[in-house]
Amino acid sequence: MNIVVTGGAGFIGSNFVYYELAQHPEDKIICYDALTYAGNLETLEAAMQSPKFRFVKGDITDEAAVERLFIEEKPDIIVNFAAESHVDRSIETPGLFLHTNVIGVQILMDACRKHGVRRFHQVSTDEVYGDLPLDRPNLFFTETTPLHTSSPYSASKASADLLVQAYHRTYGLPVSISRCSNNYGPYHFPEKLIPLMILNALSDKPLPVYGAGENVRDWLYVEDHCAAIDLILRKGKDGSLYNVGGHNEKRNLDVVKIILRALGKPESLIRHVEDRKGHDLRYAIDPTKLKTELGWEPKTKFEDGIRRTIDWYLANRAWWEHVTSGEYAEYYEKHYGAAVK
Ligand code: NAD
Ligand code: DAU
């Protein structure tokens, strides 16, 4: 099969490229990515050595470029990871999020209709459900939890999900959607909590924790997410929707302390800074449907995954030094300013 992975130069997309090349050497993987600040060709250096891999630079909102891609590659499956993915940036520039995360999906799906692909898979997020209260630990997001978004980012992802379902019903486009909780692992862009805290701790810089740090996220090792998407593509029913998560809820402050302990750094580096606007309190996924229908279970325990992730950042200094120079350095200065000096 020819599988187009959009956004495959970013964090989860690149891990998915490597997962597919290893698990399905019979398939051809084509990465289509605009290489925004979050996409990095160095991440795909090893994949470039494979005759079963091709990289195409392009934007999902560029209709003509998408059309060329479909003519050249005749894809069987499209897996759409391409998105603006950072909540804090969406608060600053909502228009860009709507353009990429909604219009980009419409353009991809129109090409899928025209060229008759076998499946369009939309990589969505648990953030479309909004948040859960901190004092009701037995409440979880299921596939029937109503959409209730908090940020421009989550609103754009929820809009895309609705559009995907509309294309399925109106045009009969073969689709699937996965809604995953927070991922962590190699190639995670350092604007996000876990890599940011690892890199700041390594440089003895303050660790900016929003508010009291009581917010809870449900962490999943990225390879487990890739395995779930792979299963849904190959075994999930047309039109299906699956939540993906491994029941691994942690308070932000506890995650930060785990990282500091692992690196032998003092908790005095923690700096409580102004809270995120509209900050979601708690995410927690119920993955029962994926487990019972497709037999998926996460393989990596948090203690192992976080150790592996920290070791990866220690061993790949050149990668993160490159991605944090340029645009990201300006963003960091503007977003955190004097609070973390
Ligand atoms: P990321 O920001 O690391 O990567 C996004 C990639 O998309 C980059 O390579 C970027 O260059 C590319 N891209 C952006 N705009 C594009 C455009 N217009 N055309 C083509 N390519 C474009 O994101 P990520 O964390 O890897 O997330 C990937 C997907 O998974 C997103 O759709 C996100 O909503 C979803 N998701 C992420 C998480 C998480 O914890 N990171 C969890 C659940 C779902
Ligand atoms: O749940 C899935 C989502 O997880 C994905 O859809 C998003 O693309 C992904 O970015 C992630 O969103 P979050 O907002 O949960 O991730 P982030 O790493 O930005 O923040 C995690 C938590 O840490 C959140 O409660 C905010 C907090 N935080 C974050 C940063 C960047 C801090 O306390 N300080 C920080 O500097």
| Closest ligand 2 atom, residue 183 Cα | 4
The set of catalytic residues is 126-127, 153
| Closest ligand 1 atom, residue 180 Cα | 43
Residues with C-beta less than 6 Å from any ligand 2 atom = 85-87, 125-127, 181-182, 192-193, 196, 208-210, 215, 217, 252, 276, 283
| Closest ligand 2 atom, residue 215 Cα | 25
Distance in Å, CA 273 to ligand 2 centroid: 14
Distance in Å, CA 268 to ligand 2 centroid: 22
Pocket-testing residue among 6, 36, 320, ligand 1, by greatest number of atoms within 8 A of Cβ: 36
The C-alpha atoms of residue 112 and residue 225 are separated, in whole angstroms, by 24
Structural domains of the chain ordered from first start: 2-184+222-248+282-300 (3.40.50.720)
Query: What confidence score (pLDDT) does residue 159 get?
Result: 98
What b/e string do you get for 166-202 counting C-beta neighbours within 10 Å, with b at 16 or more? Answer: ebbeeeebbbbbbbbbbbbbbbbbbbbbbbbbbbbbb
Each residue's pLDDT tens digit, 241-266: 999 999 999 999 999 999 999 999 99
Each residue's pLDDT tens digit, 37-52: 999 999 999 999 999 9
Token pair belonging to 279: 């900050």
Pocket-testing residue among 89, 92, 182, ligand 2, by greatest number of atoms within 8 A of Cβ: 182
Residue 338 has pLDDT above 90, yes or no: no
Instruction: Give the number of whichever ligand sits closest to the CA of residue 335.
Output: 2
| Closest ligand 2 atom, residue 210 Cα | 33
The C-alpha atoms of residue 11 and residue 18 are separated, in whole angstroms, by 11
Q: What is the mean pLDDT of the chain?
A: 97
Confidence band, pLDDT 50/70/90 cuts, at residue 268: very high
The C-alpha atoms of residue 259 and residue 250 are separated, in whole angstroms, by 13
Each residue's pLDDT tens digit, 279-290: 999 999 999 999
Residue 16 has pLDDT above 80, yes or no: yes
| Closest ligand 2 atom, residue 194 Cα | 18
Report pTM.
Answer: 0.98
Residues with C-beta less than 6 Å from any ligand 1 atom = 6-7, 9-13, 33-36, 38-39, 59-61, 81-85, 100, 104, 123, 125, 157, 180, 182-183, 189
Each residue's pLDDT tens digit, 48-77: 999 999 999 999 999 999 999 999 999 999
Query: What confidence score (pLDDT) does residue 314 get?
Result: 98
The C-alpha atoms of residue 230 and residue 296 are separated, in whole angstroms, by 10
Query: What confidence score (pLDDT) does residue 341 get?
Result: 67
Instruction: Give the number of whichever ligand sits closest to the CA of residue 279.
Output: 2
Query: What confidence score (pLDDT) does residue 23 get?
Result: 98
Query: What confidence score (pLDDT) does residue 328 get?
Result: 84
Query: What confidence score (pLDDT) does residue 9 get?
Result: 98
Distance in Å, CA 238 to ligand 2 centroid: 31
Residue 204 has pLDDT above 70, yes or no: yes
Confidence band, pLDDT 50/70/90 cuts, at residue 325: confident
Pocket-testing residue among 81, 107, 153, 252, ligand 1, by greatest number of atoms within 8 A of Cβ: 81
